Structure 1
Amino acid sequence: MASIAFIGLGIMGSPMAVHLQNAGHDVAGYNRSPEKTAPLVEAGGRAASSVADAVSGADVVAIMVPDSPDVEAVLTGDDGVLANAKPGALVVDFSSIRPDVSVALAQQAKDAGLRIVDAPVSGGEPGAINAALSIMVGGTPEDFEAAKPFLDVVGKTVVHVGPNGSGQTVKAANQLIVAANIQALAEAVVFLEAYGVDTDAAIEVLGGGLAGSAVLNQKARKMLDRDFGPGFRIELHHKDLGIVTAAAREAGVVAPLGGLVAQLMASARANGDGGLDHSGLFRGVERLSGRDGS
């Protein structure tokens, strides 16, 4: 059993930290909003007072924060991981950030005597709660093998996809596919409702054919019920699509659908929906269609 520091106990990080604690590890969690440590403490973990407090003596440091600057601050700040973790500690960055930033931070971590993998996840809040996340891992084969026992606690599909930064590249591709699927589903539901069909029956039969998908299974009911409580917020998916479009341009790759869904996600955010679940793209389709059913 290992001593684990878990930095970032939000919608995703909190259940992941609890799973690690329940698996028998000794987890110290830190979050900028201290009340979010409560589930971990209830499971037997410890609430740390700072990043430095959490990582002191830890064998593994897990990070799940929103964006590239947040990961940079956690790793490189005076109170951060590089200055306070013990030599040889394994850093597992579950955050979704820019691949180039991930590569640069990995080099800094290695220079500081730490091991590091980027391990962004897919599956949203249900995947985190059910320990069924898909985890795409970038790093050396040796560091991946060291991290895998911990990743297996919180994930169902854990795959090494290449060197440092590769996990973030695959996650960007994931976010493009998910956004396009959510947008298509939203348009389909608005279309079905406009014709007055039995939407429950329609979703059932669509789910059994080639149109079936994890997005349809998880997001159709949210759209039908107009229940957009966040499992993964629009503002975060907006950030991820910015990563996609910037990285595609840098690689000379044309991603026309990616550009379109990035703009639709930006529109949703600009219209005040940033705090909603990304299935809230449905509201944008309704706005464009002149249908006020939200």
Structure 2
Amino acid sequence: MKLLRYGPVGSEKPGILDDQGRIRDLSTIVPEIDGAALSPGGLARIAAADPADLPLVGGTPRLGSAIARPAKFLCVGLNYSDHARETGKEPPEEPILFMKSTSALCGPNDDVEIPRTSDRTDWEVELGIVIGSTAKYVPEDQALDHVAGYALVNDVSERRFQSERGGQWVKGKSHDTFGPVGPWMVTKDEIADVQDIDLWLDVDGTRRQTGNTRTMIFGAAFLVHYISQFMTLEPGDIIATGTPPGVGLGMKPPTFLKAGQVVTLGAAGLGEQRQVMVQA
């Protein structure tokens, strides 16, 4: 299933794509695409409904973040060895974890704001893991049992805020609109192998990132297992799993986003995003 949220900012409704790629309204089945809907019971209710019996949504409505109100928006840093090296760092021996503010969430095609005083806003195409059932101290071989599905994430980053303003990375990761998620969440049964998903990102039509999740240092199952040793993962939580090489920071010379530029990105089976950069 491909689950999504559609409608104006702050008034999104739950939806599902039918077999013709049309949006069907899910409001009579679940009130929102959130932790409750993404739990095993919630997904079972959605799966039991025939999309053909649900109201067809006309036109091309705005899509919101595929997940509403996650308790946690977690990220993994430097999870592709070639990306680590392009930023001048060695691949980590354990996953680098940081948080992204949930207020950074936005729709997959919403404008992305370049923060005031920013001169190093950067792009990062990533696979997002969406938790479906509570995970605490889970073994690696059971970790994916706790996953509801996967979504495309652009982990937009301000590199100066991230690395030169003191403290942790969260400062450079949490500006409003720095977390486009979607266009939809794909339930895990539709993904044959989460460690074989092609990723790509273009800036103004020029390819900047090309990668595949098979080259992740720490795979999806290990990440869910690992993170669950430090905190309880809850239904609806999002884990952005790291980006392949090709970010602006790694270019020679480093190149960053400016207002008016257009970023497009995608992942096999997970859809595509398009964002116009605007000044905050």
After TM superposition, is the score higher than 0.5? no
Please state which structure has a larger fraction of its residues in strand.
2
Normalising by the smaller structure, the TM-score range is under 0.3
Q: More relative contact order in 1 or in 2 (CA 8 Å, sep 6+)?
A: 2
Between Structure 1 and Structure 2, whose CA radius of gyration is higher?
A: 1
